[in-house]
Amino acid sequence: MDNGMKPNARSDRGFTVIEVAVALAILGTVIVMTIGPISSGFDILRKANQATIGTNIAQGRIEELRSLAYEDVGYTSSVPSGVLQPSQTVTVNGLDFTVDTDIKYFGSINPGEDIIPQGGDGVQGHFDSGIDYKQVVVTVSRAGSDFVPIVMTTIIAPPSLAANDNKANVIVNLVKVEPDGASPSILPFPKVYLVNDTSFVVFPGAPDATQIFAGVDANTSSGVDYYYYGRLGGSMGSLESGGWRIHPGDVGTEAERVHVPPTESGTMTLRIYHPAILHIEMYDQADGSEIGGPATLTLTEPLGVVTFTETSSEWNGSGWDITEADGAPLMPGSYSFSLLASGYSQVDRPDVLVPSGYPDSADHTETFTLTAAVGFTLTMHVQDAQGVPIRDVGLTIVEPGGTSTATTDQNGDATRFVEGSMVTVTVTATSPFGHEPLTRNVMLSSDQTLTLTLTTPSGYGLITFTDNNQGVEHYEYLPRNGSPDDIIRVYPNVNGQGSAAVAAGYWSLTKACLNGSSKSSNWWGVYVSAGTTKVWSTSSSMTCPAS
């Protein structure tokens, strides 16, 4: 029956192809937009889960450390000593985590500072002395992943400082002295020993630039065992080990020792160096033959000025083989050479790196090819008013060929070859030890020695340092109550003497011996009157051993 209504054309035909395509496109877009957040959410959950695991591992490690006895918090084969390994792997839910535990001594050496509230002594605001605390840093990481390492830190306090009333701590810092511009030496740091009058303590761990001696016996308040001395062996004379030598400038000074009362800490810094060996060769420029003596080599090395001649034990017939200067092994660094052989022009060669092959080789050969010349040798001898040769005096020499400088050696001498005949030379001597400067003129018509006697300024007195056995490495002096910056060091002449002109008043004096011991543990006070000479030599019991 026809009811008058038209049939629905869409219901008969269904959706068109375009409509279906549009619907699918919309559905695809929705699905793609949904997948990203879902994937990102899973990634966030994964990272959060790993972070939770890592945090739990780190926290568990910290709790484990806190449960250990104080003496067990450390390494089985290093310092601080204990029962722990520095690194280990922990597997949780199939994931490998690396747990690194860094433990080091920690503390304050500044009065008034607490490391942690109440501290190990249980008293708020009371100085927690020394380095008995142990700082622990636990790091949890995963290799080859985007895992952000978890780091936790804690401090382990000693049971109480009172338990360590008779103990102290010593920190020794080693500084390698090496030539400027040269590659650093690959030689490992030597092991340090703390030496006192009756015993020694050797560093227990692997040697490094800083070596910490924790819980050593405190120094006494008497003269016996009052100091710990830093050495490279178990005796006061142990200055060398493993290719290293303690810097002579630190021997016999405050740098090499420390006094640590109970519960306190002390620090010393020692310079060390790798000794050099120097060979000097001389050849005639005309025929290439070796040149024999007489000859004089003035060597300016990092520790001072030293002269060698054909009478020196280092002479080999046509040069020198030198391993020491003034009783100390040669220090690598910048050297200056002044060579004068009879009948040849003087050769001055400044700023030479010795040894040139540092650090691979300690040997250095310096070759001189000399030219025959006509002229005269001027030897300049500098002494004080008492006739004591003065070492390390600066000389300025003015001659027709120009101006040169020199420094007096252990004999109080410096030499200069002046070419020509009937030549006038002007020499000015300037002492770093307070003597009046002096200028003299001399006309050369033959080899000649010019003696320059330096006087004492008005209002000053003269100190003559001396030691019966000539075993002194150096003397030191400063005004009484002066600061360390006021210290002046005097290296002895060939007779073991030194000379200084000082203002009238009280002065403090000391000395260091060649065997590495300081024979005057305290400064000695003397009064010097104007216009007088004070001869300072400690009592026979304090004399340096024979060199």
Query: Of 228, 257, 273, which closes a domain?
Result: 273
Q: Does residue 177 lie within any of the structural domains?
A: yes
One domain, residues 130 and 155: yes
Q: How far is CA 449 from the centre of its chain?
A: 42
CATH of the domain at 371: 2.60.40.1120
Judgement on whether residues 427 and 512 belong to the same structural domain of the protein: no
In a domain, 16, yes or no: no
Q: Identify whether residues 216 and 300 lie together within a single domain.
A: no
Asked if residue 386 and residue 369 are part of one domain, the reply reads: yes
Of 404, 426, 454, the residue at which a domain comes to its end is 454
Range of the domain at 172: 167-273
Residue 384 binned pLDDT confidence (cut-offs 50, 70, 90): very high
Angle made by CA atoms 179, 183, 186, in degrees to the nearest 5: 105
Last residue of a domain, one of 454, 482, 511: 454
- How far apart CA 245 and CA 241 sit, in angstroms, is 7
433 pLDDT band, cuts 50/70/90, is very high
Q: Looking at the structure, tell me whether residues 417 and 305 fall in a common domain.
A: yes
Kindly report the CATH number assigned to the domain that includes residue 180.
2.60.40
Q: Please, what is the Cα angle at 272 between 269 and 273, to 5 degrees? A: 160
516 band by pLDDT with thresholds 50, 70 and 90: low
Is the pLDDT at 458 greater than 80? The verdict is yes
In this structure, the answer to whether residues 200 and 134 fall within a common structural domain is no
- Residue 114 predicted with pLDDT over 60: no
Give the DSSP letter of residue 315. Answer: B
The residue with greater pLDDT, 137 or 80, is 137
Residue type for position 227: Y
pLDDT tens digits, one per residue of 190-247: 999 999 988 899 988 889 998 988 778 888 877 788 899 999 999 888 999 989 999 9
* 307/421 same-domain check: yes
Q: What are the structure tokens assigned to 76, written together?
A: 């089985």
Same domain, 82 and 123: yes
pLDDT one-digit tens code per residue, 158-190: 765 544 567 788 889 999 999 888 888 888 999
Mean pLDDT of all residues in 294-309:
90
Residue, of 31 and 200, whose pLDDT is higher: 200
Direct distance between the N- and C-terminal alpha carbons of the chain, in angstroms, rounded to an integer: 142
Order of strands, sheet of 277-284, starting from the edge strand that comes earlier in the sequence: 319-322, 277-284, 363-370
Could you tell me if 207 and 141 lie in one domain?
no
Residue 105 lies in a domain: yes
**338 and 313, same structural domain?**
yes
Residue 470 pLDDT: 67
Residues 512, 477 share a domain: yes
Residue 17 belongs to some domain of the structure: no
From the list 263, 210, 217, 205, the residue with the least C-alpha distance to 74 is 205
Domain count, the chain: 4
Cβ atoms of 496 and 466 within 8 Å: the answer is yes
65 Rama sector, left if φ>0, alpha if ψ -120 to 50, beta otherwise:
alpha
d(CA 122, CA 128): 9
CATH number of the CATH domain containing 495 = 2.60.40.10
Q: Print the SS3 string covering 234-261.
A: CCCCCCEECCEEECHHHCCCHHHEECCC
3-state secondary structure of 157: coil
**224 and 288, same domain (yes or no):** no
**The pLDDT of residue 189:** 94
Asked whether residue 388 is domain-assigned, the answer is yes
